[in-house]
Chain A
C-alpha cells in the first residue's frame, strides 16, 4: 500500500492512495509547504517541482506516477544556478506576496540550466505557465537576465 518516493535526496515511504496528487503528499504528509496550491489543474505553476529533474506540476501528478522517482522541491533546490536566481531575486526585490515565487524560482532555475543566456522570448516561453497575480513579471524577466549575468560572470 505504501509508495516510495525520493524527496530532496531522502527516500520516503508514503501511506496514501495512489491517486493523491503529489502536491498534497508533499504538503500534508511531508509538511513541505513551499510548493503551493493555486488551481489544481496545472494552469498556474505555483506547485512546480522537479520530477527526475524536469519541472512538473505537482498538483496534477499522482503519487503513483511519482513513485520511484527523484523529486526536488523549493526546500531542496540547491546549486549554482539556484543560488544565482535567488541572489538576483533579492537584488531586484522581485517578490510581492510571494505565493507563486517558489514555482517561479523552480521554473527560472530550470530555464537557466538549459539556456544560460535566455532571450526575452525564451523567458516568455519558459515562464508562460507560471502565473503571478501580483504581476511581478517585469522583475521576473529582469531577475532571470540578472541571474544569467551572475552565472556568466
Chain B
C-alpha cells in the first residue's frame, strides 16, 4: 500500500535472494559456508548492567539466569523455545536456567539471515537461519566462561568441563555460569568458537518443555490486546465496506455522545473511534454514520472474479517451467486427462485479531505488538510520524497466531495505528484493536486461484506430458521483494510446488496468468503450496485411478531422483499399513509435497457416512526437515499444520458479493473444532542435513490426501475447495 510514503529498508545490490538462498541452503551448502554476522564486543544489555553479554543473543546474569534474546516473533510455532535450545546446547546450560525475551528491532544485529537485511519471521526460516548463529552465540559465551575459570583457578582451559550449567575442574573447583559471568566479560571474544559435533548434542534433538508452557497455562503471557497502561485509550476503526473505498463524509454526533468516547478521527483507512475503554469504543463505532466514496472501490464479486480466472486459463500464460514440449506431447498422446481446479480466497483468522499499541509524543514513538517484521513495522511507523526509524522503539510481544497475517508489506495495520497516533496528537498509549468481523472482512487473503492440469498418457498408461496452467493474483508484485520473487512476469509464490513438481515427466510445462483485482491478498500458511499441492497431488491420484495404478507405487516410480521425497512417502505408507487393506468403512489417501525445503508425506484415513459426508479419523505424517532441533515441536507443528489445512479445506471460503465480503465471524467462516480433529502420528526422519522449515510444510499435503481417500472410495474428484463444494457418494 502506498509504498511512496515509506522508507523501506533497501536491498543491497548483491543481496542473495531468499528463494535462491533457501534452495542452496536446502542442499546443505550455504549454511555451512555463509559468513555469520555476529557482532563482537559487549552488547548494550551488558552496558545496562544486566550481566555478561558477549553478543546480542544472550545475557548471563549473576543470579545464574541465561536470557536468550529471541530475534523472531513467537506466534505459537515455538521459535523462542527453538532459539533457546540452540544457545543452551553450545553453552551447556541447564534448561531450567534459560529464560527468553524478544529482541528490539534492529536489522543489523537481528537480521533474518535468509531474507535480510530485515528483521522478520516467515517462510519457515526461524530455525534454519538461526541454527549456526545462535549456537555460535552460546559457544562464544561458553569459551569466555571457560577462559575466565582457567584464569581464576590457574588451570589449563582444556581441563575445564561445562555440564548442566556448571564449570568444573578435576581438582574439585567449580562454579556456576552466573558466578563466572563477570570474569568472563573481561575475556577476549573468540573469533571462531568451536561448535559441538552432533553426536555430542544434549539439547538438540531431545525433548524439553516449551519455554512458554507454564505461563500460557496460567493466562499470564502478555499479548498486544492485554497491554494496559495508565492513560491508555482504545481505538477501533470503521473501514470501508468495499476494498478501495474512502471516507466521503462522517456524522459522528451520536458516537461522540457515548460516555467514554474521547475522539473520532478520519484517517486514510477509515474512521477511528477512541474511547477510555473497549466497550464504549465498540458501541460508538456502531453509532457512526459514514458516507463512503466508492469511486475507486472493487465492486466485483466472486462469480465475476472466478469467471475472469476461467477465461485466463483458456489461453497460454507466461511460462514458469518448460521441460520438453508439453503441447506436442499432449497432441500425440494416446489419452489426455484434464481437470480444472478452483481455490477460494481464505482468511488467516488467527485467534488473536490484529492489534497494536502505539504511543507518540512528537519526538519519539513506542510500539507494542506481535511484530512479525519488526524493522518494517518500525520504518513504516517512523515515516508516517516524521521520525527516524531508530526513534521508534518496537516491543515485540507474544502473538496469538498469525499464519502470515502479521507480516504484510507496508505494514498496513501498523500504518493505520500510526495515522491514528498522528491525528490524535496526544502522548498517551493508544491500543488499536480489530474485532473478528474486522479480521474476516479485512482483506489480505490467500488469493483465489484456478488451475488447469492436462496430462498426456502413452498407450501403456505412462505419463508423457503434463501441462499446468495457473491463474490468480500475485502476492509479490508491487512489493519490495518483487525484484527477487517476480521473474519475467512469474511470481514464484503463485507457482511454487507446481513449477517444482518433482515427478519425472519428460514434457512438463507450467504457465501462469496473473489477475489484478482490488482485493488485498497475502501469503497464508504455506503460501503457493496451499493450492499447488492439492492440484498436483490430487491430479496424480486421478491418473493413478484412470490407469489402475497404486498411488504410492506410481509416485515412487516417478521419484527416482528425489530420495527425500521417496523416504517420507515410504515411511508414511509403512506407518499407515498401506500394503494392507484398509479397515471396513475407511478409505485411505496419500500425498507428498516439499515446501520450505522440508519434505512431508501424509496418509489420511477417512470414514464415509454413506450420505455424502465424511470424517477424517487418522492421519500419519512423515517429515524430513533436516536436523530435528526440537522433535516434539516439529510434531506439534505437523499436527497444527494438518489441523489448519484440514479445517480450511473442509468448509472455509471467503466470498464477495458486489465487492462486499459475505463472511464476518466464526459462524460463517467456521473454524476447525475438536470434533473435526483426526488422531495424528508423526514420524521425523533422522537426518544430518541443516534444519529446514516446520511451521508451514505440514499444511500442503492434507487436503489432497483427504481428497485422494474420497476419490478412492467414491470416484468423486475434489476439484473445488472447500470440500463442501462436492458431494461424496458413489455415483
Binding site for B on A (CB under 8 A): 16-17, 19-21, 24, 27-29, 31, 33-41, 43-44, 46, 73-75, 85-86, 89-90, 93-102, 105, 123-125, 127-128, 130-141
Contact call A97/B636, Cβ cutoff below 8 A:
no
Contact call A132/B351, Cβ cutoff below 8 A:
yes
Choose among B75, B217, B636, B667 the residue with the greatest number of A CB atoms under 10 Å from its CB.
Answer: B217
Q: Please report which residues of chain B, range 65-82, place their CB below 8 angstroms from some CB of chain A when the two chains form the complex.
A: 75-78
Inside 8 A of B642's CB, which chain A residues have their CB?
135
Binds A, one of B119-127, B173-181, B220-228: B220-228
Inside 8 A of A130's CB, which chain B residues have their CB?
674
Given contacts A133-B401, A133-B644, contact A75 B219 (CB under 8 A): yes
Contact call B400/A98, Cβ cutoff below 8 A:
yes
Q: Shortest distance in angstroms between A140's beta carbon and chain B's nearest beta carbon?
A: 6
With contacts A90-B209, A97-B76, A136-B639 known, what are 5 further pairs, Cβ within 8 A? A41-B436, A75-B218, A90-B214, A93-B636, A135-B640
Chain A to chain B: the 10 pairs with minimum beta-carbon distance, closest first: A34-B219, A135-B643, A99-B400, A97-B76, A98-B216, A96-B76, A74-B219, A33-B226, A137-B677, A43-B666
Q: List 7 A-B contacts (CB under 8 A).
A: A36-B225, A36-B352, A44-B666, A75-B218, A90-B209, A100-B351, A135-B644
**Out of B218, B278, B643, B666, which one reaches A28, CB within 8 Å?**
B278
The residue of chain A having its C-beta at the shortest distance from the C-beta of B259 within the complex is: A17
**Out of A41, A89, A94, A131, which one reaches B673, CB within 8 Å?**
A131
The residue of chain A having its C-beta at the shortest distance from the C-beta of B350 within the complex is: A133
Inside 8 A of B220's CB, which chain A residues have their CB?
34
Contact call B632/A93, Cβ cutoff below 8 A:
yes
Query: When chains A and B are docked, how far (Å) is the Cα of A95 from the Cα of B209?
Result: 11
Contact call A44/B351, Cβ cutoff below 8 A:
yes
**Out of A17, A37, A41, A94, which one reaches B225, CB within 8 Å?**
A37
Q: Shortest distance in angstroms between B728's beta carbon and chain A's nearest beta carbon?
A: 22
B574 contacts A by Cβ under 8 Å: no
Inside 8 A of B234's CB, which chain A residues have their CB?
28
Quick one: CB contact mask for B429-443 with A, threshold 8 Å, 1 for yes? Answer: 000010110000000
Query: When chains A and B are docked, how far (Å) is the Cα of A24 from the Cα of B280?
Result: 10
The residue of chain A having its C-beta at the shortest distance from the C-beta of B637 within the complex is: A96
Contact call A95/B436, Cβ cutoff below 8 A:
no
Inside 8 A of B278's CB, which chain A residues have their CB?
24, 27-28
Chain A facing B: main interface SS:
loop
Given contacts A24-B277, A36-B225, A128-B673, contact A135 B217 (CB under 8 A): no
**Out of A28, A35, A135, which one reaches B677, CB within 8 Å?**
A135
The residue of chain A having its C-beta at the shortest distance from the C-beta of B216 within the complex is: A98
The residue of chain A having its C-beta at the shortest distance from the C-beta of B352 within the complex is: A99
Query: When chains A and B are docked, how far (Å) is the Cα of A95 from the Cα of B211?
Result: 11
Inside 8 A of B632's CB, which chain A residues have their CB?
93
B108 contacts A by Cβ under 8 Å: no
Contact call B76/A33, Cβ cutoff below 8 A:
no
Query: When chains A and B are docked, how far (Å) is the Cα of A89 from the Cα of B225?
Result: 24
Q: Shortest distance in angstroms between B640's beta carbon and chain A's nearest beta carbon?
A: 5
**Out of A38, A40, A73, which one reaches B219, CB within 8 Å?**
A73
Inside 8 A of B307's CB, which chain A residues have their CB?
none
Contact call A97/B350, Cβ cutoff below 8 A:
yes
Query: When chains A and B are docked, how far (Å) is the Cα of A24 from the Cα of B676?
Result: 31
Query: When chains A and B are docked, how far (Å) is the Cα of A18 from the Cα of B210?
Result: 41
Inside 8 A of A44's CB, which chain B residues have their CB?
351, 436, 666, 671
Query: When chains A and B are docked, how far (Å) is the Cα of A68 from the Cα of B213?
Result: 34
Contact call A97/B436, Cβ cutoff below 8 A:
no
Contact call B279/A34, Cβ cutoff below 8 A:
no
Q: Shortest distance in angstroms between B526's beta carbon and chain A's nearest beta carbon?
A: 14
Q: Shortest distance in angstroms between B506's beta carbon and chain A's nearest beta carbon?
A: 40
Q: Shortest distance in angstroms between B536's beta carbon and chain A's nearest beta carbon?
A: 24
Q: Shortest distance in angstroms between B628's beta carbon and chain A's nearest beta carbon?
A: 15
Query: When chains A and B are docked, how far (Å) is the Cα of A138 from the Cα of B636?
Result: 9
Contact call A101/B643, Cβ cutoff below 8 A:
no
B672 contacts A by Cβ under 8 Å: yes
Contact call A20/B216, Cβ cutoff below 8 A:
no
Contact call B667/A41, Cβ cutoff below 8 A:
yes
Inside 8 A of B678's CB, which chain A residues have their CB?
138
Q: Please report which residues of chain B, range 272-330, place their CB below 8 angstroms from some CB of chain A when the two chains form the complex.
A: 277-279
B476 contacts A by Cβ under 8 Å: no
B413 contacts A by Cβ under 8 Å: no
Inside 8 A of B226's CB, which chain A residues have their CB?
27, 33
Quick one: CB contact mask for B335-358 with A, threshold 8 Å, 1 for yes? Answer: 000000000000001111100000
Q: Shortest distance in angstroms between B684's beta carbon and chain A's nearest beta carbon?
A: 15
Contact call A38/B216, Cβ cutoff below 8 A:
no
B697 contacts A by Cβ under 8 Å: no
Inside 8 A of A46's CB, which chain B residues have their CB?
351
**Out of A75, A90, A123, which one reaches B674, CB within 8 Å?**
A123
Quick one: CB contact mask for B632-660 with A, threshold 8 Å, 1 for yes? Answer: 11001001101110010000000000000
Contact call B218/A86, Cβ cutoff below 8 A:
yes
Inside 8 A of B279's CB, which chain A residues have their CB?
16-17, 19-21, 24, 28
B679 contacts A by Cβ under 8 Å: yes
Q: Shortest distance in angstroms between B672's beta carbon and chain A's nearest beta carbon?
A: 6
Query: When chains A and B are docked, how far (Å) is the Cα of A131 from the Cα of B673?
Result: 6
Query: When chains A and B are docked, how far (Å) is the Cα of A6 from the Cα of B643?
Result: 38
**Out of B218, B228, B351, which one reaches A97, CB within 8 Å?**
B351
**Out of A17, A34, A37, A96, which one reaches B636, CB within 8 Å?**
A96
Inside 8 A of A29's CB, which chain B residues have their CB?
277
Query: When chains A and B are docked, how far (Å) is the Cα of A86 from the Cα of B209?
Result: 13
B665 contacts A by Cβ under 8 Å: yes
Q: Shortest distance in angstroms between A3's beta carbon and chain B's nearest beta carbon?
A: 14
The residue of chain A having its C-beta at the shortest distance from the C-beta of B81 within the complex is: A93
Q: Shortest distance in angstroms between A101's beta carbon and chain B's nearest beta carbon?
A: 5
Given contacts A28-B278, A98-B76, A101-B216, contact A133 B351 (CB under 8 A): yes
B212 contacts A by Cβ under 8 Å: yes
Q: Shortest distance in angstroms between A145's beta carbon and chain B's nearest beta carbon?
A: 12
Choose among A33, A43, A124, A127 the residue with the greatest number of B CB atoms under 10 Å from its CB.
Answer: A33
B675 contacts A by Cβ under 8 Å: yes
Query: When chains A and B are docked, how far (Å) is the Cα of A137 from the Cα of B492?
Result: 33
Contact call A97/B400, Cβ cutoff below 8 A:
yes
Contact call A133/B671, Cβ cutoff below 8 A:
yes
Contact call A90/B636, Cβ cutoff below 8 A:
no
B481 contacts A by Cβ under 8 Å: no
Inside 8 A of B400's CB, which chain A residues have their CB?
36, 97-100
Query: When chains A and B are docked, how far (Å) is the Cα of A121 from the Cα of B178?
Result: 50
